[in-house]
Amino acid sequence: MNVPTPRPEAPASLPRAQPADDRTDRGFHVYRVTKYDPADRDAAGHYVGPEDVYSDHGAVEAAYLASVAAFAEETGITHLAIREPEVAGFVNFGVEPPIDGHGLAGLFPPDLTGYHDGAQVPMSVALELVRAMLRDNGAWCRLEAEGRFFVHVGYDQYVYVGSALPCPYAVSLTHGRGLFAEQIDRSPYDPHLDEADSARGRSADDAFWAELNVLISRRGTVLLEEGFVFNTSRWHRIALDDVASIRSRIAPRARLLIWPDLSADVDTALAGLPDDGLVEIVWQNSRGEITSLTIDETEYPALPAKLADARAVLILSCDEDERIPLMAAVMPDPDGVLRARWMP
């Protein structure tokens, strides 16, 4: 489990406004939809009005959802793709505390099957994802229809909508519901602004799996971390005979990290815990289930009880400079093209 990179705060000053007929952000008309009146900003562009940054879980939230729905309808959008999905990790940067299920309960199964990069969801589900993000429930993702439409939800009730069309009806409806739709250059959550976009990870193609077979032949068994959602992983202990079966079950566009095998000498592994700092403990119980837990030194005393049923364990540092896998890659789409935008 990795500590999440915080989403950027709302911009301190307004991006340069564009003429109504000027397509920006690579052909998109981009609008910042908020409850914050632009008149209530100081000379530096900071909001100084009476609105707070929390969701009201009521009429204002409903206005946001109606606005997004109107922009989608006017663009002709019925489905959106989930991109770079996340759930709250060890550290949460939201204003409100995350809830159990991350706001995804009822939308996806408890194991989050179907909540992955590239998954297509109907607008009804997309709007519920927007609701969860407005409430800081713990889930976050970009929602996109490539080349036509996007929705990005930022901190403090800032929503960014981009459309290939100007959407005058949606703009009018947004204002009529008491919100503001300001046309801006681009969304601050545009994936092209991410550093990772210019340096994609290695594709988990046939060559990757062939190299993994060689590695397993030398080591006997390795541990595969399947990161299908940021801050959420599935773990697979793989011997040579398991490779084909596990490969067929990997989530689309998942990030794959290969680690050394778990150690059956649990006591020795735990004796090597660092004096301080975050570590991730990965262990397998007597039923063969593999679980991970991120803790710091204050939680070491509780480890014996937590790991009472552990049969094998691996300690991974959460320090980026020390957390170096044996191999890393990202699953391509079925046509062999790597479209996932995150690094492994």
pLDDT by residue, tens only, the chain of 344 residues = 333 334 444 443 333 333 333 334 567 999 999 999 999 999 888 899 999 999 999 999 999 999 999 999 999 999 999 999 999 866 666 778 888 889 999 999 999 999 999 999 999 999 999 999 999 999 999 999 999 999 999 989 999 999 999 999 999 999 999 999 999 999 999 988 765 444 457 899 999 999 999 999 999 999 999 999 988 899 999 999 999 999 999 998 999 999 999 999 998 988 888 888 889 999 999 999 999 999 988 988 988 888 999 999 999 998 888 889 999 999 999 999 999 887 65
Pair 143, 130: CB distance under 8 Å: yes
Beta bridge partners of 232: 229
Quick count: other Cβ atoms within 10 Å of Cβ 323? 14
Residue the block writes with tokens 């009472």: 308
β 180-184/29-34 pair status: antiparallel
According to DSSP, residue 38 is labeled G
DSSP state of 8: P
Task: Indicate the residue type of 271.
Answer: A
Taking the CB of residue 330, how many other CB atoms lie within 10 A of it?
23
Q: Whole-angstrom Cα distance, residue 142 to residue 156?
A: 16
Check: CB of residue 197 under 8 Å from CB of residue 324: no
Report CA dihedral (11, 74, 170, 186) to the nearest 10 degrees. 20
Q: What's residue 96's pLDDT?
A: 81
Q: Taking the mean position of all CA atoms in its chain, how far away is CA 299?
A: 27
What are the C-alpha distances in Å from 63 to residues 8, 60, 160, 177? Answer: 24, 5, 14, 6
What pLDDT, on the 0 to 100 scale, is given for residue 195? Answer: 52
Within its chain, how far is the Cα of 167 from the centroid? 28
C-alpha to C-alpha distance for 33 and 67, rounded to whole angstroms: 8
CA distance 53 to 96: 10
Q: What is the pLDDT of residue 93?
A: 65
> Which residues touch 214 (CB under 8 Å, ≥6 apart)?
none
Residue with tokens 């930022």: 154
